[in-house]
Amino acid sequence: MKILVTGSQGYIGTVLTDYLTQNGHEVVGTDTGYFSNCNLVELQNEVQTIIKDIRDINEGDLKGFDAIVHLAALSNDPVGELDELLTFQINYQASINLANLAKKQGIKRFVYISTQSIYGISRSEVELEEDFSVKNPQTAYAKSKWLAEQDLKKIESESFSIVYVRPSTVFGWSPRFRSDIVFNNLLVNGLKMNKIEVHSDGSPWRPIVHINDLCRFILIVLNAPNNVVSGEAFNVGVLGGNYTVKELAINAQECLPSKPPITFNTEKLNDPRSYKVSFHKALQLLGFSAEITMEIGGNEIIRQMKEIEIKNGEKLLDKTNRLNHLKFLKSINSIDNDLRYA
C-alpha cells in the first residue's frame, strides 16, 4: 500500500512513518517543516517528505496514493489557543479540503487523527463511548477537530472510506520528542528539576496511550475491511486506562530513580477538562487494546534522555515544547503571523 502521512515530521509522524515502512508499506510524508530540526537524536531512514503547508496541498500532490493518514494540525490545546482563526483554518478547513482532493484522486481510505479532547468535561464516573456520548469540546483545538469530524462524515462514500481515530493523550519516546503533553511533561519535569509539579489538584481524569500502540492501531485500521471500519470512530487506549493526573504523577515518580517529590499548584487553574473514556469498541471490532505501560514507556524516555545527555535542560524546552518553538520561529521572522514561512 502506498500511504501519505501528513504531519510526518511531528512527534507521532516521525514514529508512524518508520513503523509503516517497517511493516512493508511505501510511505511518503508531507509537512510544513516547523519541527524538522527538533530531533533529539540522529534520524534513521526518514521517509521522502513533501515540504508544504497543509493549507496549500493540491490534487497533484496526492496522485498515486492508496491511503492518507492525516495527522497534520496545530497539535494540542495550548498551541490551538495561539490563534483561534488559524486553528480553524489548519485543523478544520485544510482537513476538509484534503479529504475532498483525496476523494477526487480516487484514494480509498482516509484515516483522520482526531482527539479525545472533544469530550471535554463529563461526569467522571461514566466512561464515554464513541457514538452516543455527548461531545463537549472546550478549546479551539478540540472544537476544530470535532467540527472536522462532523463535516468529514458528509464526504464519505462506498469508494471513499473515512475512519476517525481518537487517541488518548499520547506518551512515549520519539526522536522528535514532546515535553508539553502530560505524562512526558511530568517525567521531564521530575528528571530536570528533581520535583514533579502538577498544575491542578490532581483530580482531573486523563486517559493516555503509548505512541507505539497508537501506530499499531493506525496500521490495523489501514488494513481493516471497509465493512468493519468505514465511517467509524474509535477511542484508542488501554482498557480501563483512565487515570487522574495525580495517578499519572505517581507513576512518573516511580519511573524516576530519585523519586522526586510531587507538588500541586492550584493557584492558576484554567483547564476544566476531565473525562473517562471507553475503549471497548476497538477491542470488539478490531481486537485491539493498547499494551505498553507507563512503567515501560517512562523508563524508555529516561534511558533516552540519559543517553543523549541533555544536561540542565539544554535546548529541551526550545525543541520539545511546540508552542515555545513556534513562538521562537516567529521571533526570528522565520514564520509570519499566519504561521507561513517568510
Mean pLDDT of the chain: 91
Kindly tell me the burial class for residue 309, based on how many C-beta atoms sit within 10 Å of its own C-beta (0-12, 13-18, 19 or more).
exposed
First to last CA, the chain: 36
**CB-CB neighbours of 181 under 10 Å:** 21
Q: Which residue has the cell 464515554?
A: 128
The residue among 116, 103, 110 whose CA lies nearest residue 146 is 116
Does the pLDDT of residue 125 top 90, yes or no?
A: no
Least confident of 94-98, 207-211, 254-258, 263-267: 263-267
Q: What is the pTM of this model?
A: 0.94
* pLDDT per residue as tens digits for the range 46-73: 999 999 999 999 999 999 999 999 999 9
Structural domains of the chain, ranges and CATH numbers in brackets: 2-177+207-243+270-295 (3.40.50.720)
Plot region of 336 (φ>0 → left; ψ -120 to 50 → alpha; else → beta): beta
Task: List the beta bridge partners of residue 31.
Answer: 51
Please check whether residue 117 is in contact with residue 142, taking contact to mean a CB–CB distance below 8 angstroms. yes
| 51 CB-side CA count, 13 A | 6
Pairing of strands 169-171, 205-210: parallel
Extract the runs of DSSP E, i.e. beta strands, from the chain.
Answer: 2-6, 26-31, 49-51, 67-70, 109-113, 127-128, 161-167, 169-171, 196-198, 205-210, 233-236, 242-244, 262-264, 276-277
At 318 the pLDDT is 72
Mean pLDDT of the region 182-195: 91
Least confident of 44-53, 78-87, 177-186, 332-341: 78-87
Name the residue with higher pLDDT: 78 or 204: 204
| Widest CA span in the chain | 56
Confidence of residue 270 (pLDDT cuts 50, 70, 90): low
Please check whether residue 176 is in contact with residue 38, taking contact to mean a CB–CB distance below 8 angstroms. yes
Mean pLDDT of the region 91-117: 97
Name the residue with higher pLDDT: 264 or 173: 173
